[in-house]
Structures are given as C-alpha cells and as structure tokens.
Amino acid sequence: MITSTQIWIAIIVSSAGAYAIKLAGMSMPQSWLSAPRVQRIAGLIPVALLTALVVVQSVTTHHSLTLDGRAAGLVVAIALLMMRASFPVVVLGAALVSALIHRL
C-alpha cells in the first residue's frame, strides 16, 4: 500500500526533476538551439510523443494488447486523416465506429 508520505515524496521529486530539466533547457546557448537540425528534431518530438500516447491508449489494457473498438476507431481516424477530413469529422467518425463495435 502506498502511503501519503510516499506520494508527497514522489510529487516533490518529480517537481524537482521537471524544474531541473526546464532549467537545463533555458541554460543552453542560443547558438545550439538555433541549429537547423535541433529545430527539426524539436518540431517532431511532440508529434512522436502524442502518437505514441494515442497508440498505447488505443490498443492496450493494463499490460496486455487488446484489439477492440478503440483500435477500429483509430484505424478509421487514420483513414479519415489521410483523406484530409476536417478534425470534427475525424473525431466523430472514430467515436461512431468505436461505439458501434463496442455495442456489438
């Protein structure tokens, strides 16, 4: 069982770590940050992290792979995005397919 003291220790350590990372980023020389390679990588990291989060949340349950309505909704969302559909259409299409498969 996790105690409230352990939770507060985890919060304080996580906060200190986040502050240290932020401070390290702000301490970098501007010449390093303005390099074209760094600019390209910095633009791709949020996309990669968000994609990984969506995929993990869509096809896993606890610690196992689960292919259910969420995975089908993800496939529909990808297909609609490839067809250049608007964001509301993508969200509604994915939600509709997920709900229909879950209902079955």
The model carries a pTM of: 0.59
Q: Which residues pair with 64 in a beta bridge?
A: 61
DSSP annotation of 63:
T
pLDDT, mean over the chain = 93
Q: Give 26-64 pLDDT, tens digit per residue.
A: 999 998 888 999 999 999 999 999 999 988 988 888 888
Helices (H), 27-68: 30-33, 36-59
Q: Give the pLDDT band (50/70/90) at residue 98.
A: very high
Of 92, 57, 98, the closest CA to residue 75 belongs to 98
The structural domains of the chain, with segments of one domain joined by +, span: 1-34, 36-104
Reference 101, options 69, 74, 77, 58; nearest CA is 69
